[in-house]
Amino acid sequence: MQAQIAEAKVVFVYGWIFRAPGAVQKHAEELRAYFRPVEEYERASGLAIERLRRKAEVVIGVHIR
């Protein structure tokens, strides 16, 4: 199995049990760039948070999947 993975160009994995902390650390910058929001949405959310911070002492964000 490991030989097949080593030779493959793309490998798909699934499940909550899969972990690869070494690979995540090694490819951290590429992962951040890949999962970065589209510029339009990132800008809009940044503006919304900026407005909230002017009015509130504490801002709490919730991420729901």
**From the DSSP assignment, how many helices (H) and strands (E) are in the chain?**
4, 0
- pLDDT given at position 24: 93
Q: Tell the residue number behind the tokens 């970065």, with chain if given.
A: 36
- pLDDT given at position 31: 94
- pLDDT given at position 14: 83
Q: Does some domain include residue 65?
A: no
Q: Does some domain include residue 60?
A: no
Which range of residues forms the domain containing residue 34? 2-55
Q: Does some domain include residue 63?
A: no
Q: Does some domain include residue 38?
A: yes
Spatial distance between the Cα atoms of 5 and 12, rounded to a whole number of angstroms = 10
Segments of the chain scoring below 70 in pLDDT:
none
Q: CB–CB of 37/45 below 8 Å?
A: yes
Number of domains composing the chain = 1
